[in-house]
Amino acid sequence: MRKKISLIGAGQIGGTLAHLISTEELADVVLFDVVEGMAKGKALDIAQSTSVDGFDVNLVGTSNYDDTKNSDVIIVTAGVPRKPGMSRDDLLGINLKIIKQVAEGIAKTSPNAFVICITNPLDVIVMALQKYSGLPTSKVVGMAGILDSSRFKYFLSQEFKTPTKNINTLVLGGHGDTMVPLPNHTTVNGKSLKQLVTENKITKEKLDAIINRTRKGGAEIIKFLEKGSAFYAPAAAGVEMAKSYIKNLKKTLPCAAYLNGEYGFKNLYAGVPAIIGSQGVEKVVEIKLEEKEKENFKVSINAVKELFEAAIKIDPDLSN
């Protein structure tokens, strides 16, 4: 039987997710939005491309949670995107309220689903989604690391004039200005960035500028678009996670996963490499970090903690 993926939020990312999932025939798609017409319109539009593109999945648009019942995967983008000049953190109050409604809807209709959260500020919203829904921590995960890594890879590919597929990298920490790209765990055509700096193939300054641009990757796009934030790359990253779960690929993917002692942290979500298979997050992979990387990771974790404290002030229920 074909799997079922429900997309909570049928905006820019939700619509792009629906299109990607359909063309890949990964699952039947339910597009859910409080703005019902948007969900229905996009579902119908994509469905009308099936004969041209030759794919065969069911697409439904709705504003009723019953239609999302027994989903295998739920991808959450419901929320308000950042506006120019707005930090991810400004979004917190508005998006917490929305996420509470969404979590209750999911808990009632698809308690066994694998839930991927994309709504910002990511690390805190995913934590709230897990708490509000009561779903197991292994079944609730945030999408950030794949996107951050793919931005880093893209900028490096431009610099080294080589396709992104020749670059391996990893980005740790929270999704935001404190994210931690790891040059020691990054290779271009098999050579580490450290080695490439030593060989003068790239200057330290240039590399730092690329890392900085990666950290601000989302803001750069917001500035161009003026209305709304990035959606093609975030949607592609969400699909990769859904696919690893549905097809039990057990890929190691950087994502916002629940830490229970890994890397020395407990009881919070942060960007780490995690194995995603049919059980959800099957394992958080602990890579060896250098002192400086550990320090940066801690700074990033502290930023997430601080924002979560702010969330608890808005809704004290989150402290339970």
Nearest approach, Cβ of residue 77 and ligand APR (Å) = 4
What track of x and - describes contact with ligand APR for positions 33 through 52 (by CB under 6 A)?
xxx--x--------------
Question: How far from chain centre, in Å, is Cα 9?
Answer: 14
- 175 included as an active-site residue: yes
Q: Which C-beta is closer to ligand APR: that of 9 or that of 183?
A: 9
Q: Which two tokens stand for residue 97?
A: 């309220």
Which positions from 211 through 270 interact with ligand APR, judged by CB under 6 A?
Answer: 228-229, 231, 234
Among residues 88, 139, 153, 175, which one is catalytic? Answer: 175
Which positions from 67 through 86 interact with ligand APR, judged by CB under 6 A?
Answer: 77-79, 81-82
Considering the rule CB under 6 A, would residue 13 count as an interface residue with ligand APR? Answer: yes
Considering the rule CB under 6 A, would residue 118 count as an interface residue with ligand APR? Answer: yes
Nearest approach, Cβ of residue 90 and ligand APR (Å) = 11
Of 273, 271, 290, residue with least CA distance to 192: 290
Which positions from 124 through 163 interact with ligand APR, judged by CB under 6 A?
Answer: none
Question: Which positions lie near ligand APR, rule CB under 6 A?
Answer: 8-14, 33-35, 38, 77-79, 81-82, 98, 101-102, 118-120, 228-229, 231, 234
